[in-house]
A and B are shown apart, each in its own frame.
Chain A
């Protein structure tokens, strides 16, 4: 998975609790992305980063925040998880903004 790890790989949480997902890369790529994958919707961009402390919103950013304090780490936070955020979350990295390489994913269930 192109030097990308995601943690945790599986998480079950309750509605209203905060959740943080971590993406770690060893490739020193500039761009990092968070996507969610849901049946019938394909992959949709949540947030992305184009450098340390430089982030921007994607298509489905409501309810999510991100932070990138180091090149290798990109965190996705659900401030107050809702059942609609039950999904599989993928991190991706890219040296420039074309070829994107995906991590193994985190399956999140919000009860």
Chain B
């Protein structure tokens, strides 16, 4: 079963700091790598996504970095805010399905 390994499981960051979440995948055939943000009691919301033909994509304070040779991609949250406290999931497209990491719970302390 294909999987994506996400780390860390939990993360505590000071307000204004940088949050970094990493994911590693196994198969180089995938072509779509999204990140989802989930607040308690809510469904996951698409945050940002990247395709492997670019190495970085930035949207506001959120940046995806993609390293195709290392089969890794990461989410950076700059100037982290208490409102960013949530669970973050990386994923990749495998055929019709998305394969998700197990999630990272981010707490931003004020």
Contact = CB atoms under 8 A, between A and B. Distances in A.
Given A41-B102, A43-B100, A59 B1 contact: yes
A48 B93 CA distance: 14
Interface string A54-77: 001011000000000000000000
| List of 5 A-B pairs having minimum Cβ-Cβ separation, nearest first | A102-B43, A42-B100, A42-B102, A43-B100, A45-B97
Nearest to B36: A102
B98 interface: yes
Interface size class of A (residues with CB under 8 A): 20 to 34
Contact of A102 (B6, B45, B95, B96): B45
* Highest count of chain A CB atoms <10 Å: which of B36, B41, B89, B96: B96
Contact of A50 (B42, B45, B96): B96
B46 A97 contact: no
Looking at B45, B49, B95, B97, the one whose CB has the most chain A CB atoms below 10 A away is B97
Contacts of B95: 97
Contacts of A105: 41-43
